[in-house]
Amino acid sequence: MTEKFASWSEVTGLDLVRYGTTADAEEIRDTAVAQPLLVSAGLAAASAVLGPPFVPGAPLPADPSLVDATAGHSVGEFTAAAIAGVLSPEDALALVAERGRGMADAAAQAETGMTAVLGGKREDVLAAIGAAGLTPANDNGSGQIVAAGTTAQLAAFAENPPERARLRPLPVAGAFHTEHMAPAVQRVRTAARGLEPADPAVRLLSNADGAVVGSGTEYLERLIAQVSSPVRWDACTQTLADLGVSALIELTPAGTLTGLAKRALRGVELLAVKTPDDLDRAGALIKEHAGTASSASTQQEG
Active-site positions read 74, 177
Task: Measure the CA–CA gap between 94 and 89, rounded to whole angstroms.
Answer: 9
Query: CA nearest 73: which of 233, 211, 219, 237?
Result: 233
Strand partners, 248: 270, 295
Task: Measure the CA–CA gap between 229 and 277, rounded to whole angstroms.
Answer: 36
Query: CA nearest 148: which of 133, 160, 128, 159?
Result: 133
Q: What is the DSSP string of 47-113?
A: HHHT--S--TT---PPPTTT--EEEEEETHHHHHHHHTTSS-HHHHHHHHHHHHHHHHHHHTTS-EE
SS3 of the chain: helix, strand, coil, percent, to 5: 50, 20, 35
Task: Measure the CA–CA gap between 67 and 83, rounded to whole angstroms.
Answer: 10
Would you say how long the chain is, in residues? 302
Task: Measure the CA–CA gap between 281 and 271, rounded to whole angstroms.
Answer: 8
Q: How far is CA 14 from the centre of its chain?
A: 20
Task: Measure the CA–CA gap between 162 and 108, rounded to whole angstroms.
Answer: 29
Total Cβ atoms within 10 A of residue 264: 18
Task: Measure the CA–CA gap between 125 and 123, rounded to whole angstroms.
Answer: 5
